[in-house]
Amino acid sequence: MWSNAFKTLIHFSRSIAVILTFLFLGKALNQLTGLPIPGSIWGLLLLFTCLSLRIIPLKLVQPSTNLLLSYITLFFVPVGVGLLEHLQLLSNHWPVIVISSLVSTFIVLICVGKLYQYLIKGNHNDL
């Protein structure tokens, strides 16, 4: 039983190490290229590429990612509370910000959703 717990811990740590390595590589790419693409997005793309090319086996990364992704909404709580720091700036322009954000977000949701559904018509295997 102890050896099982130990194995789980090792697998979990190994998976965290892989994720952090890709984040680090991503950050390096962000610095090197100077493009406005953040290190985490580069990391995502690199890890996705390595998984697709079977350089990194899925089993190696999976243990920690389920945990990270199931709490991703929780991590956004402090980000949202950070709006507090911009309350002054937001309140100066709130009608423009609120209306254009609502209108634009809804337009994009509807257009993209409808267009995608139209484009894949006849292929309903994932409905």
47 sits near other proteins (criterion: CB under 8 A): yes
Quote the least distance from Cβ 14 to other proteins, whole Å: 14
Tell which one of 5, 32, 52, 122 touches other proteins (CB under 8 A): 52
60 sits near other proteins (criterion: CB under 8 A): no
- Alpha-carbon distances, residue 40 vs 1, 25, 26, 58 (angstroms): 37, 9, 6, 19
- Alpha-carbon distances, residue 17 vs 47, 52, 57, 93 (angstroms): 13, 19, 14, 44
84 phi and psi, to 5 degrees? -50, -40
Quote the least distance from Cβ 24 to other proteins, whole Å: 10
63 sits near other proteins (criterion: CB under 8 A): no
Tell which one of 3, 36, 55, 122 touches other proteins (CB under 8 A): 36
Residue 46: CA count within 13 A, CB half-sphere: 20
Quote the least distance from Cβ 67 to other proteins, whole Å: 9
What residue type is 80 in one-letter code? G
Alpha helices in 1-127 (DSSP H): 2-33, 39-52, 58-70, 72-81, 87-92, 94-119
Shorter beta-carbon distance to other proteins: residue 1 or 96: 96
11 sits near other proteins (criterion: CB under 8 A): no
Q: Which DSSP letter does residue 86 get?
A: G
Shorter beta-carbon distance to other proteins: residue 1 or 84: 84
Shorter beta-carbon distance to other proteins: residue 6 or 87: 87
